[in-house]
Amino acid sequence: MNFEERKNLLAGKKQSHILDFYDQLNDEEKHILLSQIDAIDWDFQQAFQNKDHPSSDTEIEEIDALHIQQIIAQRDTFQAIGLDAIREGKLCLLLLAGGQGTRLGFDRPKGCFNIGIHKKLYIFELLIAHTLEVVHAANAWIPIYIMTSNINYKDTVNFFEAHNYFGYRAEYVHFFVQELNPATDLDGKILLKSKYELALSPNGNGGWFSSMHKAGLLDTIFESNLEWINVFSVDNVLQRIADPVFLGATIASGKMSGAKVVRKAFPEEKVGVMCKENGKPHIIEYYEMNEEMLNKRLPDGSLAYGFGAILNYLFPIHRLKETLDQAMPLHVVKKKVPHIDKNGVLIIPDEPNAYKYETLALDLIHKMDDCLIFEVDREKEFAPVKNKEGVDSVDTARVLLEKNGYTL
Ligand code: UTP
């Protein structure tokens, strides 16, 4: 595309303002801006148009879980199945570490955050320590894929190298980069970070499989023994990764996916819950539920929509392969995004001022035919580090770590 063609494209998309400062740029800056324009995935415009008209053609039903008591009763069997599968090289891990962690307000990758108090204990270090426990129990290395974004790739890789992979074998750790989407203002106009850069941010945590594909990682996976992939977030410092009991239970269930869940603490808790949508496993966000759904109870008194997803899933690789050519829906999320205004002055917003366009891992669950909902004890496996203070913060995570015997 030459400059005129790009100009026409932007005019057609009602985004001509992106070139407002073009005449002031040097050659290198022009090159950066033009290549960012070429890389724009314009699907975000459709998501912007549809954001106030969610599809109403859906039937939501409750879904039950494998309860903790049932898991305890079959624990040894599940564990043996899971450990065998790991020994046979059937499991790999996918750590979602491409987020920006804006709520935490830490200017490095979230995994580099030191959750220790009197000693250093980095989030990445904890996640690797949890994985190493399973590696030792199975006596087999488990490949770990780490998704970063272009923004935090170097910092993440350097951190692992500087810490000698926290004792993991480096040859089993693979980093890759997810794509970026432009953020827009509330009228759908792409924001500029500077006169020659778009305000880009990672495109969500749902596109990891196609990003792995683009990074050229899937061929080796398809040729290997790998059958299952355990996907998890960077910020739950108590979660069990590569959990052989979870893997064994999912394999034994014959289902197409698995999702770890915790019981909601109270009806209004801000967590997405497992349900069925048009017969398929689905996660409904708390803000999509009406009063009746939030408070509906089963005969035993428990909440009908009471199992909150904690972003720890198992997917069968052959089934994921079939989803590769299917688009993932883009969700429109209101966030604070720094940008320059039409005079080139930097604006740091205090309130959400922009939309980001993100795919979500939960939409991948929806593409699976069914799902084993696997209940875990929230006191033992759920300590998310999302916020600087208050709910799901560094402080609450520290309390839970200490309760579980960690020395901080
Ligand atoms: P969050 O939804 O908490 O987003 O991510 P975030 O970007 O980390 O944090 P905030 O909302 O800005 O405060 C849940 C998980 O998904 C990963 C995160 O790294 C985290 O493990 N994620 C999120 C990605 O890998 N890529 C993304 O584009 C977004």
The predicted-structure confidence for 213-261, as pLDDT tens digits, reads as follows 999 999 999 999 999 999 999 999 999 999 999 999 999 999 999 999 9
Q: Are 176 and 148 contacting, i.e. CB atoms less than 8 angstroms apart?
A: yes
> What pLDDT, on a 0 to 100 scale, did the predictor assign at position 288?
82
> Helix (H, G, I), strand (E, B), or coil: what is residue 308?
strand
Q: Are 282 and 274 contacting, i.e. CB atoms less than 8 angstroms apart?
A: yes
Q: For residue 139, how far is its CA from the centre of ligand 1 (angstroms)?
A: 32
- Asked which of 24-28, 286-290, 295-299, 396-400 is least confident by mean pLDDT, the reply is 286-290
- Please state the pTM of the whole predicted model: 0.93
> What pLDDT, on a 0 to 100 scale, did the predictor assign at position 102?
85
Secondary structure E strands in 163-220: 173-178, 180-182, 184-185, 192-194, 197-198, 200-202
Query: What ligand 1 atom has the least distance to the C-alpha of 208?
Result: 25
- Does residue 92 carry a pLDDT above 90? yes
Query: What ligand 1 atom has the least distance to the C-alpha of 201?
Result: 28
Domains of the chain: 1-40 (no CATH), 61-256+315-369+386-403 (3.90.550.10)
Q: Are 164 and 157 contacting, i.e. CB atoms less than 8 angstroms apart?
A: no
Does residue 98 line the site of ligand 1, with CB under 6 A? yes
DSSP 407: -
Does residue 234 line the site of ligand 1, with CB under 6 A? yes
Give pLDDT tens digits for 20-76. 999 999 999 999 999 999 999 999 999 999 887 766 678 899 999 999 999 999 999
Q: For residue 73, how far is its CA from the centre of ligand 1 (angstroms)?
A: 35
Give pLDDT tens digits for 147-180. 999 999 999 999 999 999 999 999 999 999 999 9
- 325: confidence class by pLDDT, cuts 50, 70, 90: confident
Does residue 97 line the site of ligand 1, with CB under 6 A? yes
> What pLDDT, on a 0 to 100 scale, did the predictor assign at position 324?
87
Does residue 202 line the site of ligand 1, with CB under 6 A? yes
Q: Mean pLDDT score of the chain, rounded to an integer?
A: 94
Give pLDDT tens digits for 94-131. 999 999 888 898 999 999 999 999 999 999 999 999 99
Amino acid at 246: F
Does residue 101 line the site of ligand 1, with CB under 6 A? yes
> What pLDDT, on a 0 to 100 scale, did the predictor assign at position 54?
63
- Measured by CA distance, the residue closest to atom 2 of ligand 1 is 99
Does residue 150 line the site of ligand 1, with CB under 6 A? no
Q: For residue 97, how far is its CA from the centre of ligand 1 (angstroms)?
A: 7
Q: For residue 271, how far is its CA from the centre of ligand 1 (angstroms)?
A: 15
Best probe residue, ligand 1, of 41, 124, 205, 241 (max atoms within 8 Å of C-beta): 205
